[in-house]
């Protein structure tokens, strides 16, 4: 197994200044445990490239002024985009990972073909930048989240939600439209990545993320890394575990209402049939989830998707039903996703930083910054 490469001294300097704040050459040498000369040799090109700013302050005593270096977070931006039939969500961060812009618009369902859907996505990225007053020329990389089976190279192998994109290298086409590097992956996998990096599953290495909304899908983080599988289909479990899912689009069908919201409303109003339908749905989902939990033994289970918002009506009975099936002496925590509808877009942002470090910083092997999410729409 190939060992991961160590970041260069220049990359380590950038990460320290980006994530910890300004420092002097002596401070950097002490933090990185390298010589002052090594820091001085690496730092000059970083200043010339625009990644670092310098400030000089005069000391109280005799001697040379003190020079400090700071990461220039505002010299560029990175976008995360979540594309679906019902919505397109865009978040834009600076180079240090602080989300500065957020935009939600109608999805791609109404567009007649794959090309026009791709154009709509590019237009929404440009609109998000324009609305925030961010020059489009500063966009360095984009992470793209979409429904479907996506290869590690970013090719859409199959998508029942956006079938026109099946077989297409959507990332390459979008990169051409925006003039920025693009990384692409499956939306539920990226939602799991987001919850692991900045959401409800931080500080644990093995996470099972279950999205329950119009569809049922799973994302896995094992050993701190998103699990893809040998055929890129890890997590595509919906049709196998839930008979309510249509074979075609994989959507949940309800008997006592046109949507989950309608069924849950009727149940709260005392409709016995609606209550029984929800009870049966929760029980079947709990059994399937318990099987997955026993197979994987995650440190934490995170429930996302639209139904995760129904705490008393869905999350509480699901937690109780899972416990009945597992019958374990120790509890595996089952919690609500923290990032809500914004998870996949923020996961796409993480993907861009992880996959496109060279395009963003001009350096390889930088770790993902501690993303500061768009708080206006992130639920606890």
Whether residue 241 is predicted with pLDDT greater than 80 in this model: the reply is no
Q: What average pLDDT does range 212-241 have in this prediction?
A: 87
In tens, the pLDDT along 66-84 reads: 789 999 999 999 999 999 9
Whether residue 215 is predicted with pLDDT greater than 90 in this model: the reply is no
- In the block, tokens 């500065």 appear at 100
Residue-range domain boundaries for the chain: 9-71, 76-191+341-377, 200-337
In tens, the pLDDT along 276-308 reads: 999 999 999 999 999 999 999 999 999 999 898
Q: Is domain 200-337 given the CATH code 3.30.420.40 in the classification?
A: yes
What's the pLDDT score for residue 204? 96
Q: Rounded distance, CA 292 to CA 228, Å?
A: 16
What's the pLDDT score for residue 61? 53
What's the whole-number average pLDDT of the chain?
A: 91
What's the pLDDT score for residue 62? 54
Higher-pLDDT residue of 253 and 201 is 201
Residues paired with 185 in a beta bridge: 145
Q: What average pLDDT does range 108-118 have in this prediction?
A: 96
Residues making up the chain, counted from first to last: 380
SS3 assignment, position 147: coil
Q: What average pLDDT does range 112-126 have in this prediction?
A: 97
What's the pLDDT score for residue 249? 60
* pLDDT above 90 coverage of the chain, percent: 77
What's the pLDDT score for residue 57? 67
What's the pLDDT score for residue 284? 92
Cα end-to-end span (Å), the chain: 39
Q: Cα-Cα-Cα-Cα dihedral of 58, 59, 65, 66, to 10°?
A: -110
Residues paired with 89 in a beta bridge: 82, 104
Whether residue 380 is predicted with pLDDT greater than 50 in this model: the reply is no
Whether residue 264 is predicted with pLDDT greater than 50 in this model: the reply is yes
Q: Which tokens sit at 28?
A: 């950097």
Q: From its phi and psi, is residue 13 left (phi > 0), alpha (psi between -120 and 50) or beta?
A: alpha
What's the pLDDT score for residue 89? 97
Q: Cα-Cα-Cα-Cα dihedral of 237, 241, 244, 245, to 10°?
A: 20
Whether residue 2 is predicted with pLDDT greater than 50 in this model: the reply is no
Q: What is the C-alpha radius of gyration for the chain, rounded to an integer number of angstroms?
A: 23
SS3 assignment, position 93: strand
* pTM for the model: 0.92
Q: Rounded distance, CA 304 to CA 310, Å?
A: 11
In tens, the pLDDT along 182-199 reads: 999 999 999 999 999 999
176 confidence band (pLDDT: 50, 70, 90): very high
Q: Is 200-337 in the same CATH topology as 76-191+341-377?
A: yes
Instruction: Read off the DSSP letter of residue 104.
Output: E
Q: Is domain 9-71 given the CATH code 3.40.50.300 in the classification?
A: no
Whether residue 376 is predicted with pLDDT greater than 70 in this model: the reply is no
In sequence order, the 6+-apart residues with CB closer than 8 A to the CB of 329 are none
Q: Which tokens sit at 345?
A: 């877009």
- Say if residues 349 and 371 touch (Cβ distance below 8 Å): yes
In words, the CATH class of domain 76-191+341-377 is alpha beta
Of 352, 353, 350, 360, nearest in space to 51 by CA = 360
Instruction: Read off the DSSP letter of residue 3.
Output: P
Higher-pLDDT residue of 197 and 245 is 197
Q: Which tokens sit at 157?
A: 């192998």
- Say if residues 90 and 345 touch (Cβ distance below 8 Å): yes
Q: Which tokens sit at 19?
A: 């994530």
Of 113, 344, 137, 325, nearest in space to 226 by CA = 344
Of 336, 346, 307, 138, nearest in space to 214 by CA = 307
């Amino acid at each position: 197994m190939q060992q991961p490469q160590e970041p260069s001294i220049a990359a380590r300097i950038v990460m320290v200044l980006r994530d910890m704040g300004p420092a002097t050459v002596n401070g950097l040498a002490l933090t990185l445990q390298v010589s002052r000369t090594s820091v001085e040799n690496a730092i000059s090109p970083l200043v010339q490239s625009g990644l670092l700013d310098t400030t000089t302050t005069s000391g109280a005593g005799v001697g040379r002024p003190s020079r400090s270096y700071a990461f220039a977070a505002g010299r560029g931006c990175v976008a995360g985009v979540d594309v679906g039939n019902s919505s397109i969500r865009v978040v834009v961060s600076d180079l240090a990972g602080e989300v500065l812009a957020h935009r939600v618009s109608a999805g791609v369902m109404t567009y007649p073909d794959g090309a026009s859907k791709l154009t709509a996505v590019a237009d929404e990225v440009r609109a998000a930048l324009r609305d925030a007053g961010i020059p489009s020329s500063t966009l360095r990389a984009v992470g793209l989240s979409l429904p479907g089976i996506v290869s590690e190279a970013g090719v859409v192998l199959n998508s029942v939600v956006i079938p026109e994109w099946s077989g297409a290298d959507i990332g390459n086409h979008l990169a051409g439209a925006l003039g920025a590097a693009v990384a692409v992956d499956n939306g539920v996998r990226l939602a799991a990545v987001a919850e692991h990096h900045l959401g409800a599953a931080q500080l644990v290495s093995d996470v099972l993320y279950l999205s329950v909304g119009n569809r049922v899908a799973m994302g896995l983080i094992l050993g701190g890394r998103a699990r893809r599988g040998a055929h890129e289909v890890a997590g595509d479990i919906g049709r196998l575990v839930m008979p309510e899912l249509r074979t075609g689009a994989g959507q949940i069908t309800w008997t006592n209402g046109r949507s989950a919201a309608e069924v849950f409303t009727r149940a709260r109003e005392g409709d016995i049939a609606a209550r029984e339908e929800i009870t049966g749905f929760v029980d079947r989902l709990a059994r399937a989830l318990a099987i997955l939990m026993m197979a994987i033994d995650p440190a934490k289970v995170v429930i996302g998707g639209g139904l995760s918002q129904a705490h008393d009506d869905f999350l509480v009975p699901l937690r109780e039903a899972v416990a009945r099936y597992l019958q374990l002496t120790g509890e595996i925590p089952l919690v609500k996703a923290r990032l809500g509808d914004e998870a996949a877009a923020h996961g796409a942002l993480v993907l861009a930083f992880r996959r496109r470090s060279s395009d963003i910083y001009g350096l390889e092997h930088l770790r993902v910054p501690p993303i500061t999410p768009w708080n206006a729409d992130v639920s606890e």
